[in-house]
Amino acid sequence: MKNMDRPDSLEVYHHGQGVSTGVAYGPAYLITPDALRVPRREISPDEVEIELARLHDALAATRADIERVRTALQRADKSDEAAIFDSHLLILEDEALLESVRDRIRHDRVNVEHAFSSLVLEAVDRIEKSENSYLRERVRDIRDVEHRVIRFLLGQREPAVGDLLQNALLVAHDLPATLTAELDRDRILGFATELGSPNSHTAILARSLEIPAVVDLGPVLQRLSHGELVVLDGREGLLIQNPSPDTLAEYERIKAKIERKRAEWVSLAGVPGRTADGEPLTFLANIEFNREVDAALAFGCDGIGLYRTEYLFLQGGGDVSEEEQLEVYGGIVRRMEGRPVTIRTLDLGGDKLLSGMEPEDNPFLGWRAVRYCLDRPEVFLGQMRAILRAGAHGNVAMMIPMITAMEEVDAVFDVLESARQSLRSEGLSHAERCPVGALVETPGAALMAKSLAERFDFLSLGTNDLIQYALAVDRGNRRVAHLYQPFHPAVLKLVREVVDAADAAGKQVTVCGEMGSNSRAAALLLGLGVRSFSMVAARIPRIKQVLGRVSLPEAQEIAAEALEQIDSDSVKAIIENRFGERFHRAPSA
């Protein structure tokens, strides 16, 4: 059905954030925000127990519904996605919240729907005022659970997604993770939402399901009609309404190009990484879940440069035993068949909080990473033991995040020695020699890189945090996001400081932040002395291809020139003028 208020020839572009790449077009299936009307009524003393029983039944029904989704995902071999719903179940088990609901029913003599909804909204209001981005992102999970409970109490059903049009594009105000997980990939071409962020659980699931997705579009539902033809561009963050025949033809060409490019990239898996003049390069993969190993291998990684272990703990609610860690770490190591696997110790804190970790006013400057681990020696010791034991199955290294002081270095190696001694005394098989590296991600660490290189076996550059800390920019804050500049000369000088210190000590440096997966930045990093890059697996072929078109002397020349600039635009202009044509060159046949 077309929107009769708009001429058929007028196509409209709606801009949002692309969170899962790919393009698709088809009829729009709209899920409009149906704000729940929660009634408030006073109850008699005789009705109190009835309302309490209704609360119990609603919680049980909601729990069963969410567990059904989890089970379906687990049976589909999507255990990582299933674990996302652990947080939903924890909300249902929040005894402090539930006891407050019961108290309000008993003392205020109000119906259960009003008591539950009002208390959840009060909690949401407090969270939304928090500066903790991770907690704010969890608001959607809380509201999802609240809506499910209230719908059960009111006798209403969830918005239907099972009856979607065949080959449809879902457009919603917001899409809770519980609904996203139930999407049928064979029926849904992609989805777009008015709300959302790239780090939401919904975005994570979209990427896992390989569904093109765009979020944060703003108010588009009121401008769309159910069944109207739309184009979704997950690369550019676009929803195109009423696309013209020319636009559809162009996107058909884009889809074909994406498929050809992907096939070519996979074909590069066995090609060694080298510059145009033959300098060998190493390309590693960043992973968060063990299921990502298959993609890393398919795209030709030389190993795992960064395994983020905190997601294992977040899925397990923080309680992950040494044996459970060993099973996961060992499985990854065995599947890599001798390729190096670098396991980062816990980087909790910041925007990754376990249940029970208190929100902080400045979480990225607070109790996180190695600071947390050294304050939880039993957790740190158990993880180090598991990593060392996994080393018995292959080529394993250990990376320590957020090192900022030599006192921390001493404390880390004390715990490591305790781990080794305990394993020896218990007669457990482990790696006696496990390389240990420092993740350099603060200006302070970069400036003391010489001392770090003397103590550690290797250094890794975490450019995401390094840029954020160096420029005092929260990259998740829209108002200042434009100031987050990977090409800022100050950032380049810090990178050079680290590379020079590592070279002087005969140690390797690997860049494992997003900077290394950017074509232009990778060429600049090459000139600054970086020879090892770790990134999302799907980017490996592209960066391998780009750097294969650049000679080392050329890269060194532009790096030297870039270090003399005073702003990011000048640096980018230098790179574009020298290598722009090579970056834009169509993939070879």
Q: Is the dihedral of CA 272, 276, 279, 281 positive or negative?
A: negative
Contact 427, 364 (CB under 8 A): no
Angle between helices 48-75 and 95-108 (to 10 degrees): 150
- In this structure, which amino acid lies at residue 340? P
Are the C-beta atoms of 341 and 394 separated by less than 8 Å? yes
Contact between residue 20 and residue 192 where contact means Cβ atoms under 8 Å apart: no
Tokens for 179? Answer: 């609904």
- Among residues 114, 201, 393, 488, the one annotated as catalytic is 201
Is 373 one of the annotated active-site residues of the chain?
no
- Helix (H) or strand (E) segment spanning residue 202: helix 201-209
Please give the span between the terminal C-alpha atoms of the chain, in angstroms, as a whole number. 42
Q: Which residues contact 234 (CB under 8 A, 6 or more apart)?
A: 18, 19, 20, 21, 22, 23, 190, 212, 213, 214
Give yes or no for a contact between 62 and 288, defined as CB atoms under 8 angstroms apart: no
d(CA 302, CA 27): 42
Would residue 434 show up in a list of annotated catalytic residues for this protein?
Answer: no
- Catalytic residue (one of 301, 373, 434, 512): 512
In terms of DSSP H, where are the helices of 41-137? Answer: 48-75, 79-83, 86-92, 95-108, 112-128, 133-137
DSSP code for 587: P
Active site residues: 201, 512
